[in-house]
């Protein structure tokens, strides 16, 4: 099998926004508690943050972290998570049927993002709450001093404003499962009013309105149009969410998941631009792909997790080599659409469908999916180049014919070019010619394994790692990073 890839460094898709390498921390299962936060753990710092997890998050290269949800945010009272910890209430958490202790809240999250040098992205509750609470939270976070809420923050120990720029106006409000789910016109009006009021308090905000929680939602397309007919002038981004999984043994379609992601992005861009055209607006809405990942949502569970407990084991998917190849391919799609996708969050960060796993009181380790993300976050910086790809195709049940090679090329400021490439063929290597004579291969790292189901575990944390590769062939079912200079 043979594929070729050609690019020219003056033909550019767009500049990669570093916010493309965001992740997501929700109060869900063990993402926070016994994930990144575990007072009493041997590696915990004096604030209860696990330093072993902090080190892995830094290595992962996450630039931005969305918080506190997710479905959780639609029932959350932010005031529960500020001030003296001993006085914070324990609450029922209906979204995930858990108990929330509120031991971890805003100040703890801000400390966490400072430690990993990431930007915060906060979501406001537009499920059980509304405009006033969103404005209150914004005042608490961003107003310097001299008002009740800014002084409350100062009294809680944060003298300087947090300066949070990125705000999600609710979460998945199109979903029937969402607390306070609303029809599009109702949500569109609420999001617009909230956005306008928030901008009156702080003009320097980037606001994200909820798009569809998946392209298979029955309201997909009309939801975006109706919401933007209200919110177009008031917001900067619309969100996309997508999760993929291998179903019924159809690995071919699973490996082609990025086809769906690219259609999804193109459809949302077209819808945004349609609304922009009807409004005669020169403004372009950007996409915040603020939840994406592989998630085995439909896989039967061995045991039902206990309900109404603190930090139950929920959504603890253990990722295989195949999953890592798909995650890499989804990263390629985000890069290929970087002219419109200017923020994105791998959902989530620790334990909950996360690239990092932990055991309470025990070790922290990298899942297979950690590696493509870490490599893309490090080397996928600069300009994405237009690529002409000539590749054999294969037939998939879900998406018809799909190219075996999925790839992109990113040029860094120093002139080096990094090619990220996936070979979707399950059994055969794919010889790749890159027709750029001036560039030589500096490094080629591969993630592949004869056992496509191989995983990393607490006992064998380094079973799957990327390794150097010295041939022009991409191994069967592999994720590749090829640096050229
Ligand atoms: O990331 C897990 C969940 O997926 C989030 O809480 C929700 O927004 C989405 O449905």
Q: What is the pLDDT of residues 350-403, one digit of tens each?
A: 999 999 999 999 999 999 999 999 999 999 999 999 999 999 999 999 999 999
Does some domain include residue 106? yes
For residue 300, pLDDT over 90 is answered with no
Nearest residue by C-alpha to atom 5 in ligand 1: 70
Give catalytic residues, as residue numbers: 172, 291
Global model pTM greater than 0.90: yes
347 CA to middle of ligand 1, Å?
Answer: 8
Whether the predicted pLDDT of 259 surpasses 90: yes
Atom of ligand 1 nearest to the CA of 293: 1
Probe residue for ligand 1, chosen from 27, 172, 293, 349 as the CB with the greatest number of ligand atoms within 8 Å: 172
Element (H, E) at 54: helix 51-60
Dist CA 76 CA 90 (whole Å): 12
Residue 293: pLDDT band (50, 70, 90) is very high
The Cα 95–Cα 172 span in angstroms is: 12
Ligand 1 centroid to Cα of residue 178, in Å, is 10
In a domain, 321, yes or no: yes
Please, which residues bridge with residue 294 across strands? 244
Q: What is the rounded CA–CA span in Å between residue 298 and residue 279?
A: 41
Does 294 fall in a domain?
yes
If residue 439 lies in a helix (H) or strand (E), which one and from where to where? none
Within 13 Å of residue 211, how many CA atoms lie on the same side as its CB? 32
Q: Rounded distance, CA 115 to CA 436, Å?
A: 41
pLDDT of residue 303: 77
What one-character-per-residue DSSP string does 83-148 give? S-GGGPPPEEETTTTEEE--SS-HHHHHHHHHHTT-EEEEEE--SS--HHHHHHHHHHHH--SSSH
User: For position 74, which CATH number holds?
Assistant: 3.20.20.80
pLDDT digits (tens, 9 = 90+) for 157-214: 999 999 999 999 999 999 999 999 999 999 999 999 999 999 999 999 999 999 999 9
Distance CA 133, CA 153 (A): 15
The parent domain of residue 233 ranges over 18-380
Q: In the numeric block, which tokens belong to residue 458?
A: 């607490």
Is 230 strand, coil or helix?
A: helix
Question: Phi then psi for 302, rounded to 5 degrees?
Answer: -65, -45
- Residue 452 domain-assigned? no
For residue 387, is it within any domain? no
What is the C-alpha to C-alpha distance for residues 417 and 433, in angstroms, rounded to an integer? 15
3-state secondary structure of 368: coil
Q: How confident is the model at residue 436 (pLDDT cuts 50, 70, 90)?
A: confident
Check residue 430 and give its pLDDT: 98
Q: What is the pLDDT of residue 219?
A: 98
71 alpha carbon – ligand 1 mean position (Å): 6
**So what's the pLDDT on residue 456?**
98
Q: How far is CA 298 from CA 103, 222, 233, 354, 441, in A?
A: 32, 26, 38, 17, 41
Lookup result for tokens 């079912």: 477
Domain count, the chain: 1
**Residue 304 pLDDT exceeds 80:** yes
Nearest alpha carbon to residue 419 among 485, 466, 471, 484: 484
Q: What is the mean pLDDT of residues 336-361?
A: 98
Residue 256 resides in a domain = yes
Q: Judge whether 4 lies within some domain.
A: no
For residue 445, is it within any domain?
no
Distance CA 98, CA 28 (A): 8
Q: So what's the pLDDT on residue 423?
A: 98
> Residue 382, SS3?
coil
Q: How far apart are CA 205 and CA 216, in angstroms?
A: 31
The string of pLDDT tens digits covering residues 422-435 is: 999 999 999 999 98
């Amino acid at each position: 099998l043979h594929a070729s890839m050609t690019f020219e460094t003056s033909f550019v898709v767009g500049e990669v926004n570093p916010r493309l390498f965001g992740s997501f921390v929700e109060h869900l299962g063990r993402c926070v508690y016994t994930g990144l936060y575990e007072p009493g753990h041997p590696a915990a710092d004096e604030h209860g943050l696990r330093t072993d997890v902090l080190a892995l998050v830094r290595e992962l290269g996450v630039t931005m972290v969305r918080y506190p949800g997710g479905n959780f945010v639609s029932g959350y009272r932010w005031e529960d998570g500020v001030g003296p910890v001993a006085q914070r209430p324990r609450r029922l958490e209906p979204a995930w049927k858990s108990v929330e202790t509120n031991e971890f809240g805003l100040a703890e999250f801000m400390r966490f993002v400072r430690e990993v040098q990431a930007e915060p992205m906060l979501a406001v509750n537009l499920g059980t709450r509304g405009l006033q609470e969103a404005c209150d939270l914004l005042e608490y976070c961003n107003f310097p001093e001299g008002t009740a809420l800014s002084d409350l923050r100062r009294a809680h120990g944060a003298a300087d404003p947090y300066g949070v720029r990125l705000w999600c106006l609710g979460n998945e409000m199109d979903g029937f499962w969402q607390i306070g789910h609303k029809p599009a016109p109702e949500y569109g009006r609420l999001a617009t009013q909230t956005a306008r009021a928030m901008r009156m308090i702080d003009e320097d905000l980037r606001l994200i309105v909820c798009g569809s929680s998946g392209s298979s939602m029955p309201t997909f397309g009309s939801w975006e149009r109706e919401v933007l007919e209200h919110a177009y002038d008031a917001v900067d981004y619309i969100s996309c969410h997508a999760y993929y999984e291998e179903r019924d043994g159809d690995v071919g379609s699973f490996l082609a998941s990025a086809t769906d992601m690219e259609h999804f992005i193109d459809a949302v861009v077209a819808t945004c631009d349609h609304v922009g055209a009807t409004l005669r607006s020169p403004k372009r809405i950007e996409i915040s792909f603020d939840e994406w990942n592989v998630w085995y949502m439909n896989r039967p569970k061995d045991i039902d997790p206990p309900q109404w407990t603190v930090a139950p084991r929920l959504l603890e998917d253990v990722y295989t080599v195949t999953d890592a190849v798909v995650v890499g391919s989804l990263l390629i799609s985000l890069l290929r659409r970087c002219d419109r996708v200017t923020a994105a969050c791998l959902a989530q960060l620790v334990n909950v469908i996360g690239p990092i796993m932990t055991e309470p009181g025990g070790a922290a380790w990298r899942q297979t999916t950690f590696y493509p993300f870490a490599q893309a976050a490090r080397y996928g910086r600069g300009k994405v180049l237009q690529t002409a790809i000539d590749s054999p195709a294969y037939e998939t049940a879900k998406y018809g014919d799909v190219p075996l090679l999925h790839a992109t090329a990113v040029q860094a400021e120093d002139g080096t070019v990094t090619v990220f490439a996936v070979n979707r063929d399950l059994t055969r290597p794919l010889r790749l010619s890159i027709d750029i004579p001036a560039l030589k291969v500096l490094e080629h790292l591969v993630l592949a394994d004869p056992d496509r189901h191989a995983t990393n575990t607490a006992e064998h944390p380094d079973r799957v790692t990327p390794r150097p590769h010295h041939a022009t062939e991409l191994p069967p079912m592999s994720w590749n990073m090829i640096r050229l200079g």
